[in-house]
Amino acid sequence: MVLILGFIAYNSYQRSSPPTFTETLSGTITVDPLAYRYLTITVPSGASDPILSIYFIAQGGARNDIRCFVIDETNFINWQNGHPAFILYDSGQVSTAKGQISLPGPGTYYIVFDNTFSVFSSKTVNYSITLKYTYQR
């Protein structure tokens, strides 16, 4: 009897838990010297607990390095215009990095590959980005 009640309780919990969604982007991007390139990720309205996972490897130039950061839409506009901006994740100048970022909630986010520090060398970046979130009904 206890086993049957446990099974019913577990089954109703499984049906009531919100679904989890996963979106993955992967590819290669070339970033010119003194420039940056970005990818846009949108966390839909109603999504909760968004987690962004980033993995990348940079090649090019003497140090094979790039800077990667994640920023929301408002702060991205400020950053583009040379104003102070709050950055959610910053890899620093590295050849490779792996990061996991808890995003604050629904909205538009930018994954920026920044090569503005390099005067002469283009960088080729291989990346894999995964966004996971639950969706409240």
Structural domain contains residue 11: no
Q: Give mean pLDDT, residues 3-13.
A: 45
Structural domain contains residue 69: yes
Structural domain contains residue 128: yes
pTM value? Answer: 0.85
The pLDDT tens digits of the residues spanning 75-125 come to 999 999 999 999 999 999 999 999 999 999 999 999 999 999 999 999 999
pLDDT band for 14, please (50, 70, 90 cuts).
Answer: low
% of the chain residues with pLDDT over 90: 82
The parent domain of residue 124 ranges over 18-135
Structural domain contains residue 1: no
Query: How far is it, in rounded angstroms, from Cα 95 to Cα 109?
Result: 23
108, 72 Cβ separation under 8 angstroms: yes
Structural domain contains residue 3: no
Give the distance, in angstroms, between the CA of residue 37 and the centroid of all CA atoms in the same chain.
Answer: 14
Structural domain contains residue 129: yes
CATH of the domain at 69: 2.60.120.680
pLDDT band for 37, please (50, 70, 90 cuts).
Answer: very high
Sequential DSSP letters for the chain: -HHHHHHHHHHHHHHHSPPEEEEEEEEEEEE-TT-EEEEEEEEPTTEEEEEEEEEEEEE-TTTT-EEEEEEEHHHHHHHHTT-----SEEEEEESEEEEEEE--SSEEEEEEEE-TT-SS--EEEEEEEEEEEEE--
- Give how many domains the chain has, as a whole number: 1
pLDDT of residue 7: 42
Residue 24 predicted with pLDDT over 50: yes
Structural domain contains residue 4: no
- Picking from 96, 91, 93, the residue whose alpha carbon sits closest to that of residue 127 is 96
